[in-house]
Amino acid sequence: MLTLYHGLASTCSKKARLALFEKGVPFESRLLNLQAFEQHAPEYLKLNPNGVVPTLVHDGRPVIESTMIVGYVDDVFADPPLTPRDPFARAEMRLWLKWSDEHAYKAVYVPTWDRLSRPVAQKLSDEELARRLAHVPTAERRSRWEATARQGFTQDEFDAAYAEMTATFDRMEAALADGRDWLAGNYSLADIAIVPFVERIDDLRPDLLDSGKWPGVSAWFARYRERPAFESAFFFEGKDARISAIRKALGLDNP
């Protein structure tokens, strides 16, 4: 029995969903409203003490952190394999997993919080904000939510994010320059780890790929969008009964 606790727009949740759909593994969806702080509820913190999504629960045992989750899914469910057999290609794949955690994530973190979290957080009264922050388990996240609600983000923070966006595209373009279709040769966890961030960058800054500077990345992304698992993982609307409530909470259904 697999249960996935995840967020609708969360890049890391998309990564976990993508691995599950690529494997064709059925799972129970537990969609959390991150803007309502459901990831900080006491019952969820028992599964994931960090208070973030996703969390995969397999036969009662939680697996946390999206990179760990996709590796776990590939280990437990053999087909189709998502890790290269060749040791060098496997090392390439692991470098992309590292890049996704250390660089691609930073490319979208601030712009995403500014777009999705700030409109909700800045409406909270000081009392309500303090009440919600009391349940946030880490000092870093408490500080981030408070800054999001009250100060917003600096231009330096946006500039640093945009620098990580172009660095990610530069690195991908170099890897794809030899004509390969996928980042580590054959399709693998490398592609699964990176594509949520490419999709988010393209949403935040469509001018980047539209510029034509990274034709290999554009072609890679076009190939990706043809995969059935991409459609299932990235366009999850309608697959959970709570979707309309969450869209309303985010203001997505407002004129």
| Helices 155-176, 215-225: crossing angle, 10 deg rounding | 80
Averaged pLDDT for residues 8-21: 95
pLDDT at 124 over 80: no
Provide the pLDDT for residue 167: 98
Domain that holds residue 13: 2-82+240-249
**114 shares its domain with 63:** no
pLDDT at 235 over 50: yes
Tokens of 108: 């979208």
Query: How far is 232 from 229, CA to CA, in rounded Å?
Result: 5
**98 shares its domain with 223:** yes
Question: What CATH number did the domain enclosing 6 receive?
Answer: 3.40.30.10
Write down the pTM of the prediction. 0.88
Provide the pLDDT for residue 6: 96
Q: Would you list the DSSP string of 179-246?
A: S-SBTBBBS-HHHHHHHHHHHHHHHH-HHHHHTTS-HHHHHHHHHHHTSHHHHHHH--TTSSTTHHHH
pLDDT at 254 over 90: no
In this structure, what are the phi and psi dihedrals at residue 74, rounded to the nearest 5 degrees? -70, -35
Q: In the chain, how many domains are there?
A: 2
Provide the pLDDT for residue 1: 87
Listed in order, strand segments (DSSP E) in the chain are 2-7, 28-32, 55-58, 61-64
The DSSP 8-state label assigned to residue 104 in this structure reads I
CA distances from 41 to 36, 67, 128, 153, 206 (A): 10, 23, 15, 26, 35
Query: How far is 42 from 225, CA to CA, in rounded Å?
Result: 37
pLDDT > 70 fraction of the chain, expressed in percent and rounded: 93
Provide the pLDDT for residue 244: 52
**67 shares its domain with 110:** no
Provide the pLDDT for residue 237: 67
Averaged pLDDT for residues 57-82: 97
**Which is nearest to 213 in space by CA: 179, 168, 182, 157?**
168
Question: What CATH number did the domain enclosing 161 receive?
Answer: 1.20.1050.10
Q: Which single residue is written with the structure tokens 């330096």?
A: 156
pLDDT at 249 over 90: no
Q: Would 165 be classed as within a structural domain?
A: yes
Residue 38 and residue 26 in contact, taking contact as beta carbons nearer than 8 Å: no
Q: Would 255 be classed as within a structural domain?
A: no
**68 shares its domain with 94:** no
> Of the spans 139-143, 151-155, 172-176, which averages the highest pLDDT?
172-176
pLDDT at 147 over 60: yes
**185 shares its domain with 201:** yes
Provide the pLDDT for residue 137: 81
